Amino acid sequence: MEVIILPSSKDIGALAADSIEALVRNKPNAVIGLATGSSPLPIYDELARRHTEEGLSFAQVSGFALDEYVGLPEGHYESYREVIRREFTNRVDVAAENVHGPNGSSQDVEAACQAYEDAIVAAGGIDLQILGVGTNGHIGFNEPGSSLASRTRIKTLAEQTRQDNARFFDSIAQVPHHVVTQGLGTIMDARHLVLVASGAGKADAVRAFVEGPVSASCPASILQFHRRATVIIDEAAASKLAGAATYRHAYDNKPVWQGI
Ligand code: F6R
């Protein structure tokens, strides 16, 4: 796992965007896994800027959302399908039919989750998965206790996650209790994981998953088993890392040609 500590979320967004740009230039029909929440927004802003100002094209790219709330009416402003459209895909030239999300309102949730797994495989698998991390160590909506081998399925949100996400709704009562999410096994199948986090509120979770034991109690710790996981965080999110100086030294001395 590579840990990169940068001064600001803007820098984090730019570095993650560099990696996505390199991927898309090398493989125009790349498959990108899309996270929602606040953390990836600087990435989407930077990719949208590069599209508008520098002609970076996503015309052949496919996108797969990480997760979706269950129970929000179609078109709800905070449904992740809408968030991804608003924050990213509508700002670039991704074809609408190439943007996929797990179906949180299917009558047959199990079949819908399996269909989602099948669609990822049919697209050739995810080349680069963008991730954030919850204050309790979740990735996607794989809350503590999730099977490290799990696939896309319905999950119940931890109360802490509902509280954390209440800022996107008028009140906590409106935050759904259930979600469908790619499983930890699904996420681990992506060829490159890029997790971004910023702010002191993430410092405990970052310390736990980067330097703690691999455990279902801290789902993001599964990244320690991935052959290509890049963790890009700001100083505040890195503030509790015992090995911060080592990570900084490694990155500062990394050959530029290696990229991330
Ligand atoms: C979002 C997702 C979540 C968030 C996490 C952090 O699709 O899967 O794991 O990445 O809850 O959220 P923010 O970035 O809002 O702090």
Ligand 1: distance of its center to the CA of 138 in Å? 8
Q: Are 239 and 245 in contact (CB under 8 A)?
A: no
Amino acid in the structure at residue 253 = N
Q: At what angle do helices 9-26 and 41-54 cross, to 10 degrees?
A: 50
Q: Is the CB of 31 under 6 A from ligand 1?
A: no
Q: Which atom of ligand 1 is nearest to the CA of 131?
A: 10
The total number of residues shown for the chain amounts to 260
* Ordered domains of the chain (ranges, CATH): 2-254 (3.40.50.1360)
Write the DSSP symbol of residue 158: P
Q: Are 133 and 202 in contact (CB under 8 A)?
A: yes
Q: Is the CB of 67 under 6 A from ligand 1?
A: yes
Residue matched to tokens 């681990």 = 188
Q: Are 175 and 157 in contact (CB under 8 A)?
A: yes
Token code pair at residue 31: 């498959």
Could you tell me which of 14, 30, 45, 21 has the C-alpha nearest to residue 126?
30
Centroid of chain to Cα 41: 11
> Which among 66, 85, 129, 233 is the best mutation to test ligand 1's pocket, defined by most ligand atoms within 8 Å of the CB?
66
Token code pair at residue 28: 């125009």
Q: Is the CB of 138 under 6 A from ligand 1?
A: yes
Q: What does 19-39 look like in DSSP terms, one character per residue?
A: HHHHHHHH-TT-EEEE--SST
Q: Is the CB of 66 under 6 A from ligand 1?
A: yes
Query: Residues 8-35: pLDDT tens digits?
Result: 999 999 999 999 999 999 999 999 999 9
Minimum CA distance residue for ligand 1 atom 1: 36
Ligand 1: distance of its center to the CA of 64 in Å? 15
Query: Residues 228-260: pLDDT tens digits?
Result: 999 999 999 999 999 999 999 999 999 988 888
Neighbours of 28 (CB within 10 A): 12
Could you tell me which of 194, 217, 40 has the C-alpha nearest to residue 127?
194
pLDDT at residue 63, rounded to an integer: 98
Query: Residues 90-148: pLDDT tens digits?
Result: 999 999 999 999 998 889 999 999 999 999 999 999 999 999 999 999 999 999 999 99
Q: Is the CB of 134 under 6 A from ligand 1?
A: yes
3 state SS of 233: strand
